Amino acid sequence: MKLISLLIAGWAAITPIAASCSGDPLPKSTETETTGPGDNGNKDNGNEESDSPLKPVTTGSDTLVIWYSFTGNSKAIVDALLTHVSADYLEINPAEEGLDYAANNYAIGSSLISSIRENPSSASSYPSIKEVEVPFDDYKTVIIVTPLWWSQMAAPMQSFLFKFSEQIAGKTIGLIVTSSSSSISGVEKDAKRLLPEGKFASESLWIRASQVGEANSLTASWYDKVFKSGNDETSMKVKITAGGKTFTADIEDSRTGKAFMEKLPLTLDMSELNGNEKYCYGVSLPNEDKRYDSIVAGDLMLYSGDCVVLFYGAAGGYSYTRIGKIADTAGLSEALGKGSVTVKFE
């Protein structure tokens, strides 16, 4: 408890954010908003029935983003990350709702952290979280997005990692931490203690609360550096031209992606559907369809083994095989227009 008191004194003394946090009640995480990650929020997390376990929102990716957020910063960071990376995602929620971890000089938050510090190997030291059901076998990479509390990983995220440490063993781990001002080294230590068998990415990403507005560029450059550097020879890029504009898509390193590359150059007359996609049948490719709950603009997909679909708006709920993804979708909707369009892939 002494150490916690020192940390409280230190952090509160050096950070103006602490003062502003304690002035207004901290806004509760906006978990029920419709503008959640991928514009899908948690509405497809399987939690319409409040008692059923929460499940990841699926995109067919082998990357899972796990996040917890009390005041919304981690949530905003996940939103930003998912504009750049195709990944399934799942929010961790404390079992007890409505707790104000910041009230009374962060009393609840600090007692949760103290309890874990005092006995980190006992399950009873960790606060309960809402039940989750995660198909861990589907994932090679897990990206953890968490706030820092008293220089440690926020307690609900620790609960999740403690509970599923064995299932996450052997996977590649990315860590993104947000704090007001404290260094994230304590959170990195927590992650390694909780996931001793995790293969940690070469560096974590620290986003201060004051930098959350820059989360798009910060998460994109961190992800590309940590997960893509050195893979440039194997990354496959395709130039896509429509309506006089050019875009670049990263093509999957998969049977489908490779077969697509072999068909290039390809000029497709694509039809309009639903105000969010252009499609063209007659391009047969190997498929491994999975249900996608969350599709975003820029997703280049194969439907039913022979239909290329280019999305320029959000969708989901059908089965596809991913061909690739356009990372920078600025102007895509305008370039594709409202009706049929000729699209060149090369």
Ligand X SMILES: Cc1cc2nc3c(=O)[nH]c(=O)nc-3n(C[C@H](O)[C@H](O)[C@H](O)COP(=O)(O)O)c2cc1C
Contact residues: ligand X, CB under 6 A? 7, 11, 15, 69-74, 101-102, 106, 109, 147-151, 178-182, 209
Q: How far is the CB of 34 from ligand X (least distance, A)?
A: 19
Q: How far is the CB of 31 from ligand X (least distance, A)?
A: 11
Q: How far is the CB of 113 from ligand X (least distance, A)?
A: 7
Between 70 and 222, CB nearer to ligand X: 70
Residues 6+ apart with CB under 8 A from 213: none
What is the number of alpha carbons within 13 Å of residue 79 lying toward its C-beta? 20
Between 116 and 240, CB nearer to ligand X: 116
Q: How far is the CB of 3 from ligand X (least distance, A)?
A: 12
Between 109 and 298, CB nearer to ligand X: 109
What is the amino acid identity at position 103?
A
- Tokens 């102007």 locate to 331
Residues 6+ apart with CB under 8 A from 55: 45, 46, 90, 132, 133, 134
Distances (CA, A) of 293 to 60, 157, 305: 9, 24, 19
Q: How far is the CB of 115 from ligand X (least distance, A)?
A: 13
Q: How far is the CB of 102 from ligand X (least distance, A)?
A: 5
Between 69 and 321, CB nearer to ligand X: 69
Between 15 and 276, CB nearer to ligand X: 15
Q: How far is the CB of 40 from ligand X (least distance, A)?
A: 19
Rounded to whole angstroms, how far apart are CA atoms 314 and 294?
7
Determine the residue with CB nearest ligand X: 109
Between 145 and 341, CB nearer to ligand X: 145
Between 8 and 314, CB nearer to ligand X: 8
